Amino acid sequence: MLVHICCSVDSHFFLEKLQRDYPQEKLIGFFYDPNIHPYSEYQLRLLDVKRSCKKLGIELIEGEYDFEAWMEAVRGLENEPEKGKRCEVCFDRRFEVSAKKALSLGETKITTTLLVSPLKSQEQLKKSGDIFFQKYGVEFIAFDYRTDGGTQEQSRVTKEEQLYRQDYCGCIYGLTMQREQQDRLMDEMFSPISNKILPASIEERLEMYKYRNELEDKNIAYKIIREKFLNYRQLNFKLLSDKTNVIPAYALSYSTLARKKAQGVVEFSHNNISYFNREEIKFVTLEFFNSACSFKYRTVNELIFNPPSFDEELKFRTISTSSNYDLTPIIIVDKIPQTKLTVELDAKIYEDVREKLIIL
């Protein structure tokens, strides 16, 4: 039987139940989910599914990540709610590809781990499955493992196996609506051109779960915990002289500006820090930044496209300030400007939760 897999949270519990109830059935996992966005999230879910299938001894096949074709398929349905028409089209596309994969493998039966997800309509799934049975002759088996305490048992398995628990379905349209309803920043879509790994980002989780797999290969005990913290995302930053000339500059993490814009001049300098006459802004030279942190940046432009880690930036912030809660804009420049300046900075600070791995 070919089992279409959407994520490890659904698949691990679902596959365990299938193995128990149908011990003679050979199960083949098929990870085909071009709806998942962004691609880093797709990689993270696939990574965890691979680990899960390895633990269960189940063969796994990865389908094509044909995201553009999926986007075209749901065109016009962007504003449909969860369990609406967009989901039906999404199911149809994934089932059709799964049915064709089953036929190519000589399989006559398929099912999907989506059946166990509380966020999905089983009736929608059965409807799509029946259509492709009639079209391709591949029987869709609709297992119901949600009733009789199944959802609670699934939650227990997820926690025990320390699976990656995503908090949105996968597609960009569902994510957008969910974050709007939560009045929450859609930080999943932040991906700096510098490839800098941001706190609580998908990229940070991806690196952590890769490390988790390495620890398991070495039989090193660990635990994944969650902790609350104050997160930060910088949406836009620009430093201008005479309102039009852009000066290469880098705003340190946790730099904030209440009105998003300030105009003024550097008033004075003291102990390698230059003080702006507006909004508590501080300027430091790249030379001082390099010497304080043992970096070797030649220009600020090089710093912009190859910045240090978040933690390294925070270390420099503690050097430059006297408070652990400092949100002062700290701007790094090649040399301190002596002209009238305009600082444009749009950044968000917000309460968040992140996962952390600890070795036992």
Q: Are residues 73 and 161 in the same domain?
A: yes
State the average pLDDT over residues 263-272.
95
Give the span between the Cα atoms of 179 and 169, in whole angstroms. Answer: 12
Tokens coding 214: 């390495």
State whether residue 144 is helix, strand or coil. coil
Q: Report pLDDT for 183.
A: 93
Q: What percent of the chain has pLDDT over 70?
A: 100
Under a CB-based contact definition with an 8 Å cutoff, are residues 336 and 287 in contact? no
Separation of alpha carbons 171 and 146, rounded Å: 23
Task: Specify the residue for token string 């030379």.
Answer: 287
Residues 341 and 286 grouped into a single domain: yes
Which of 64-68, 165-169, 226-230, 234-238 is predicted with the least confidence, judged by mean pLDDT? Answer: 165-169
Residue 351 lies in a domain: yes
Three-state SS letters, 297-325: CCCHHHHHHCCCCHHHHHHHHHHHCCCCC
pLDDT at 139: 87
Whether 65 shows a pLDDT value over 90: the answer reads yes
Question: For 76-93, what is each residue's pLDDT tens digit?
Answer: 999 998 888 998 899 888
Of 246, 10, 268, nearest to 119 (Cα)? 10
Q: Which residue type sits at 244?
A: T
Confidence at residue 289, expressed as pLDDT on a 0 to 100 scale: 97
End position of a domain, from candidates 184, 214, 244? 184
Strands 245-246 and 28-31: unpaired
Q: What is the mean pLDDT of the chain?
A: 93
Residue 191 lies in a domain: no
Q: Is residue 210 part of a domain?
A: no
Residue that finishes a domain, picked among 118, 153, 184: 184
213 in a structural domain? no
Q: Locate tokens 């220009």: which residue?
A: 299
Q: Is residue 172 part of a domain?
A: yes
Res. 70: pLDDT tops 90: yes
Number of separate domains in the chain: 2
Q: Which of 119-123, 174-178, 228-232, 340-344 shows the lowest per-residue confidence on average (mean pLDDT)?
A: 119-123
Number of neighbouring beta carbons within 10 Å of residue 237: 18
Residue 107 tokens, joined: 């399989």
341: β partners: 241, 264
Judged on CB neighbours under 10 Å (0-12, 13-18, 19+), 192 is middle
- Summarize pLDDT for 92-121 with one digit per residue, the tens: 888 889 989 999 999 989 999 988 887 677
Same domain, 179 and 43: yes
Mean pLDDT of 220-241: 96
Q: Are 30 and 15 in contact (CB under 8 A)?
A: no
**180 plus 260 within the same structural domain:** no
Calpha distance 155→157 (Å, rounded): 5
Q: pLDDT tens digits for 173-224?
A: 999 999 999 999 999 999 888 889 999 999 999 999 999 999 999 999 999 9
Q: What is the C-alpha to C-alpha distance for residues 199 and 151, in angstroms, rounded to an integer?
A: 31
Predicted local distance difference test score (pLDDT) of residue 286: 98
Residues 180 and 236 in one domain: no
Q: Are residues 94 and 159 in the same domain?
A: yes
Based on the domain organization, do 89 and 147 belong to the same domain? Answer: yes
Q: Is residue 25 domain-shared with residue 153, that is, in the same domain?
A: yes
Mark which of 158, 184, 210 sits at the end of a domain: 184
Q: What is the average per-residue pLDDT within 243-265?
A: 95
Residues 156 and 238 in one domain: no
Residue 221 belongs to some domain of the structure:
no
Q: Work out whether the CA dihedral 280, 286, 287, 293 comes out positive or negative.
A: positive
- Tell me, yes or no, whether 344 and 254 share the same domain: yes
Higher pLDDT, 24 or 324: 24
pLDDT of residue 140: 87
Q: Is residue 195 part of a domain?
A: no
5 confidence band (pLDDT: 50, 70, 90) = very high
Can you give the residue range of the structural domain that contains 303? 230-359
State residue 73's pLDDT score. Answer: 95
Residues 172 and 23 in one domain: yes
Give per-residue pLDDT as tens, 8-47. 999 999 999 999 999 999 999 999 999 999 999 999 999 9
Q: 212 lies in a domain?
A: no
Structure-block tokens of residue 46:
């696939």
User: Is residue 327 scored above 90 in pLDDT?
Assistant: yes
Q: Of all residues in the chain, what percent carry a pLDDT higher than 90?
A: 79
Residues 273, 128 share a domain:
no
* 122-136, 162-176, 222-236: range with lowest mean pLDDT: 122-136
Does residue 138 carry a pLDDT above 90?
A: no
What is the CATH number for 147?
3.40.50.620
**pLDDT band at residue 335 using 50, 70 and 90 as cut-offs:** very high
